[in-house]
């Protein structure tokens, strides 16, 4: 007997499409939060790396500054 049928043969699965909407919204929210956390940690790591190179080694890297801006913009979009 299929999972959607009761013992009397009536369909019990009519409320499933309503549940799929909420699952999709939850998955979408979790995905956006994950992208935001990833971009935030990469931004923090890039900032700390630039501080390390600037203060310890007296080396200023312009390319890393541009990459940091790119991650900030990607985080804002997500």
Domain ranges of the chain: 24-77
- What is the token pair recorded at 3? 């999972």
Spatial CB neighbours of 47, under 8 Å, sequence gap ≥ 6: 68
pLDDT of 34 = 93
Sign of CA dihedral 56, 58, 61, 67: positive
27-71 pLDDT per residue, tens: 999 999 998 898 888 888 888 888 888 888 887 777 767 777 877
Cβ 12 vs Cβ 5: under 8 Å: yes
| Residue 57 DSSP label | S
CB 53 within 8 A of CB 60: yes
Place of tokens 């080694």: 57
Does the pLDDT of residue 24 top 80, yes or no?
A: yes
């Amino acid at each position: 007997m299929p999972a959607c049928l009761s013992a009397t043969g009536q369909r019990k699965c009519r409320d499933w499409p309503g549940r799929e909407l909420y699952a999709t919204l939850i998955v979408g929210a979790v995905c956006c939060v994950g992208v935001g956390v990833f971009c935030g940690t990469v931004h923090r790591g890039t900032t700390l790396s630039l501080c390390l190179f600037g203060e310890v080694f007296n080396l200023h890297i312009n390319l890393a500054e541009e990459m940091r801006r790119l991650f900030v913009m990607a985080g804002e979009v997500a």
